[in-house]
Structure 1
Amino acid sequence: MFGPRVPTVTVPEITDDAYLLDVREDDEWLAGHAPNAHHLPMTQLPTRLAEVPDNREVAVICRSGGRSAQVVTYLLRNGWEQVRNVEGGMGEWAATGRPVVGGDGQPGKVL
């Protein structure tokens, strides 16, 4: 029933040079996201794969970790090696005190 365990990373383990890939929908992104994140909704991933770097650490984040785990699995199956699911997603990101900004650049909130 369950496939291989999805590689994960905790919020404190994410380094500044990691590529933070936010796979949530537009409304979630606009409400609040990590300042240095790159937005690519999960549903658009197959047509925008070239935007995801394959030569550096990629940390994939969503609201709680479910969608991002699916994206990590997809990327691993398509040749990516340095890709990890962010445990707890944006909820955990905010809970650990990391900044969250809205689409207008003001402090945001996690939907």
Structure 2
Amino acid sequence: MTVPEVEVHAVPEGAFLLDVREDGEWRAGHAPGAVHIPLGELQARVAEVPKDAPVYVVCRSGGRSANAAAWLNHVGRDAINIGGGMRSWHFAGRPMVGENGQDPFVA
């Protein structure tokens, strides 16, 4: 199965952004407004992912998010992988926030 994928600049403002990275990666830096569900928790928490809107899925470099997007599409969601992940997001200058007031970075 081919997973739909977009580059970071094509993610629309206000889109549902699902970050599937681990807690430490999330705390280091994430997109404002993103929803954090670590990949290992996704199956148990899938009810938190909308059924009626596209879901843009991101991880650090694009591998975990591609797997998550494939599974989400399999269970009836409209999921799109973000190519290059948060590394590309940061490189493209897209907004990021860090936890605890620290400058955001991609861990």
Coarse TM-score class (shorter-chain normalised): over 0.9
Letter matched to residue 52 of structure 1: V
- TM, length-normalised to structure 1: 0.92
- TM, length-normalised to structure 2: 0.95
In the other structure, the counterpart of 2:99 is 103
Letter matched to residue 51 of structure 2: D
Q: CA deviation at 1:16?
A: 1.2
In the other structure, the counterpart of 1:85 is 81
Q: CA deviation at 1:105?
A: 4.3
Q: Distance in 2 between matches of 1:37 and 1:84?
A: 14
Structure 1 residue ranges (4+ consecutive) displaced by more than 3 angstroms after TM superposition:
none
- Pair 1:57 & 2:25 matched: no
Letter matched to residue 109 of structure 1: F
Q: Distance in 2 between matches of 1:105 and 1:23?
A: 22
Determine which structure has the larger helix proportion and give its number. Answer: 2
Q: CA RMSD in A?
A: 1.0
* % identical aligned pairs: 50
Q: Distance in 2 between matches of 1:11 and 1:37?
A: 14
